[in-house]
Chain A
């Protein structure tokens, strides 16, 4: 097996596994940059996965091959609406952000499985017939070497994820909106003094995280699992959280971290068919993202510092 063959297997698989992490981690950035801790990313992905699969199964006859894309938008809306729970609890009701996030995760799992049983009368949905399919990107696939590795047997969603990461970077660091978002996460009182509506910005941050988390879940369900059950999303949301931290709350950093975690995940699955890698017990690859995140937080791999006001409540008039 030549290096070329190995890359042609590993790179598309990495991109496939990374895409949901990229979307969700970007969602986490919006929320945490605005000062709201979001442990609920896992739950938001569950909602996204559930709503996209249900929509896909129900409307596949009407929309045909466009179904997964429309389901993506539905999942985005569902995630955004569901994240309002977190927003209301942690911003308006002054709940502990972490506790509210735990509640979101519990609620998402309970609610979706309840609805699956209600709608389908069994513990899991059927398999979707129209998921995201492997494609060759036109024109780019003909580039010698690079085309074969990066643009064949791949998914549109992976490239969409990379583009969205760049857009999010632009929004967060180059627009007035991004500046306001970051300022309420760093020093809400100063931001309030400058006439920025802290509550509104934080709500927007959480809702955007819900929308992107929903997309992340939908991409995962429609390109990897193809159905919805209790184990569809198992830890993806927390891995996205890890990617966000490992990427130091920076969209492009999170993109890089998510790609790396996607690589680790795909290797732990396909590694046994590759030379060299099959010697490594896959437990090391499975725990790598989490261990690296702990090391990054500790400061061994460049210090990762959260936004200053993350996890705190802003109460007008108090000092």
Chain B
């Protein structure tokens, strides 16, 4: 079986296995899986409103997925997307409430602020990795918590209106909201962010596959020593990849700050978008097209799940279990590949 075919089959098998195990869990706990999956389908596609919500949901997933995938391609594991996402969210809202500017300047400025904030947050682990060889996984995990507590502190003490727990609504001139998109989707919260997300997919593909810089980045990801020997600066590329990855993550935060919510609120815990990004990137094999499609899948699952308790009486956490299982099976793809190899060898005989 060709390598390319195996590469496409492995994630599909992982998704199927996740759904099968999810079905078994439902049967074991006395729920009707057919009702549950019907409810999920209706919750995602039943009305135009739900379709709008699905698109809104997967917009930040695409960007978070790109953030994880980009770092992965350079050989770095950015678990800190969640933290970069949170600081990006706050930065975009901060600019959104603080200035009064015409839309052509204000909106790009707010988006840029989110990207810069995310990139700066990711710069720290990137720099520590390049300069001190500190493993980025631990640093990014720690940075997530620093981001959570620091942004909560800033919202509570600097931005919140009268000892509240959230900021004011951003000014209309910084908003990504679109009456047009809302009206064609029966007044869902769909916003222009999806356009930005698609453009970013193309940018990542172009940057990695069609530029010299992208070639260097990938070379560092394949083999640092070879890249170094070929005269490329490993450290520079490590830092650069974290900056770009963080900018994607910050942009994902802007989707929530400028699009979906229009404000930032004190958070009791993580939003989960960053971790969803890891799942999205893994399932999408770290390519921009793969990320795009797997983000759509996770968006459908998450939004459709909300309908499961209403229509079928199944707790929506079932979808979290399925997503976790998909990650588990994609990670264990070694064993799936072995089965595929055996299967194809038998056919030849």
Which A residues lie at the B interface, using CB under 8 A?
A: 37, 39, 85, 89, 92-96, 98-100, 102-103, 105-107, 109-111, 113-114, 117-118, 230-231, 234-235, 238-239, 241-242, 245, 281, 283, 286-287, 290-291, 293-294, 297-299, 306
Which residues from chain A contact B135 at a C-beta distance below 8 Å?
297, 306
Q: Is the CB of B278 within 8 A of A113?
A: no
Interface residue ranges of B306-348 to A (CB < 8 Å): 315, 317-321, 323-325, 327-328, 330-335
B20 beta carbon closer than 8 Å to chain A: no
What CA separation (Å) do A204 and B142 show in the bound complex?
27
Which residues from chain A contact B124 at a C-beta distance below 8 Å?
294
Partner of A113, one of B25, B132, B146, B320: B320
Partner of A89, one of B143, B146, B332: B332
The smallest C-beta distance from B331 to any residue of chain A, in angstroms, reads 4
Q: Is the CB of B134 within 8 A of A298?
A: yes
Which residues from chain B contact A113 at a C-beta distance below 8 Å?
315, 317, 320
Q: Is the CB of A110 within 8 A of B324?
A: yes
B29 beta carbon closer than 8 Å to chain A: yes
Q: Which residue of A lies closest to B328 (CB)?
A: A103
Which residues from chain A contact B137 at a C-beta distance below 8 Å?
37, 39, 98
What CA separation (Å) do A315 and B317 show in the bound complex?
37
Which residues from chain A contact B184 at a C-beta distance below 8 Å?
none
What CA separation (Å) do A293 and B325 show in the bound complex?
31
Q: Is the CB of A297 within 8 A of B331?
A: no
What CA separation (Å) do A294 and B132 show in the bound complex?
11
Partner of A283, one of B153, B275, B282, B334: B153
Pairs across A and B, CB under 8 Å, 5 listed: A102-B327, A118-B315, A230-B269, A283-B153, A287-B145
Q: Is the CB of B278 within 8 A of A109?
A: no
B160 beta carbon closer than 8 Å to chain A: no
Which residues from chain B contact A94 at a C-beta distance below 8 Å?
332, 334-335
Partner of B334, one of A95, A235, A294, A299: A95
Given contacts A93-B334, A106-B323, A114-B318, contact A283 B138 (CB under 8 A): no
The smallest C-beta distance from A9 to any residue of chain B, in angstroms, reads 23
Q: Which residue of A lies closest to B125 (CB)?
A: A294
Partner of A231, one of B268, B315, B324, B333: B268
Which residues from chain B contact A107 at a C-beta distance below 8 Å?
321, 324-325, 328
What CA separation (Å) do A293 and B139 show in the bound complex?
8
Which residues from chain A contact B15 at a C-beta distance below 8 Å?
none
Q: Is the CB of A281 within 8 A of B153?
A: yes
What CA separation (Å) do A109 and B324 show in the bound complex?
9
The smallest C-beta distance from A89 to any residue of chain B, in angstroms, reads 5
Which residues from chain A contact B325 at a C-beta distance below 8 Å?
103, 107
What CA separation (Å) do A114 and B145 show in the bound complex?
26
Given contacts A39-B137, A110-B317, contact A102 B145 (CB under 8 A): no
Partner of A106, one of B134, B138, B327, B334: B327
Q: Which residue of A lies closest to B134 (CB)?
A: A297
The smallest C-beta distance from B233 to any residue of chain A, in angstroms, reads 21
What CA separation (Å) do A131 and B335 show in the bound complex?
43
What CA separation (Å) do A194 and B324 show in the bound complex?
38
Given contacts A113-B315, A286-B149, contact A293 B268 (CB under 8 A): no
What CA separation (Å) do A54 and B324 show in the bound complex?
23
Given contacts A234-B268, A245-B138, A298-B132, contact A95 B146 (CB under 8 A): no
Of residues B124, B157, B324, B333, which shows the largest number of chain A Cβ atoms within 10 Å of its Cβ? B324
Which residues from chain A contact B134 at a C-beta distance below 8 Å?
294, 297-298
Which residues from chain A contact B141 at a C-beta distance below 8 Å?
39, 238, 241
The smallest C-beta distance from A42 to any residue of chain B, in angstroms, reads 10
B79 beta carbon closer than 8 Å to chain A: yes
The smallest C-beta distance from B28 to any residue of chain A, in angstroms, reads 10
Q: Is the CB of A291 within 8 A of B146?
A: yes
B128 beta carbon closer than 8 Å to chain A: yes
Which residues from chain A contact B278 at a C-beta distance below 8 Å?
99, 102
Which residues from chain A contact B327 at a C-beta distance below 8 Å?
99, 102-103, 106
What CA separation (Å) do A245 and B141 show in the bound complex?
12
Which residues from chain A contact B48 at a C-beta distance below 8 Å?
none
Q: Is the CB of B150 within 8 A of A287?
A: yes
B77 beta carbon closer than 8 Å to chain A: yes
Q: Which 5 A-B pairs have the closest CB atoms?
A: A110-B320, A106-B324, A107-B324, A95-B331, A93-B332
Which residues from chain A contact B332 at a C-beta distance below 8 Å?
89, 93-95, 100
What CA separation (Å) do A94 and B333 show in the bound complex?
9
Partner of B324, one of A103, A117, A239, A283: A103
The smallest C-beta distance from A32 to any residue of chain B, in angstroms, reads 11
Q: Is the CB of B324 within 8 A of A118?
A: no
What CA separation (Å) do A74 and B135 show in the bound complex?
35
Which residues from chain A contact B138 at a C-beta distance below 8 Å?
241-242, 245, 293-294, 297
Q: Which residue of A lies closest to B282 (CB)?
A: A99
Q: A118-B315, A290-B145 are in contact. List 13 more A-B contacts (CB 8 A).
A: A39-B137, A93-B334, A98-B77, A99-B282, A102-B278, A110-B323, A114-B29, A114-B320, A234-B269, A235-B269, A281-B157, A283-B150, A290-B142
Which residues from chain A contact B145 at a C-beta distance below 8 Å?
235, 238-239, 287, 290
Q: Which residue of B lies closest to A313 (CB)?
A: B334
What CA separation (Å) do A129 and B221 show in the bound complex?
54
What CA separation (Å) do A231 and B148 show in the bound complex?
15
What CA separation (Å) do A153 and B45 show in the bound complex?
57
Q: Is the CB of B146 within 8 A of A287?
A: yes
Which residues from chain A contact B328 at a C-beta distance below 8 Å?
85, 89, 95, 100, 103, 107
What CA separation (Å) do A106 and B323 show in the bound complex?
8
What CA separation (Å) do A109 and B317 show in the bound complex?
9
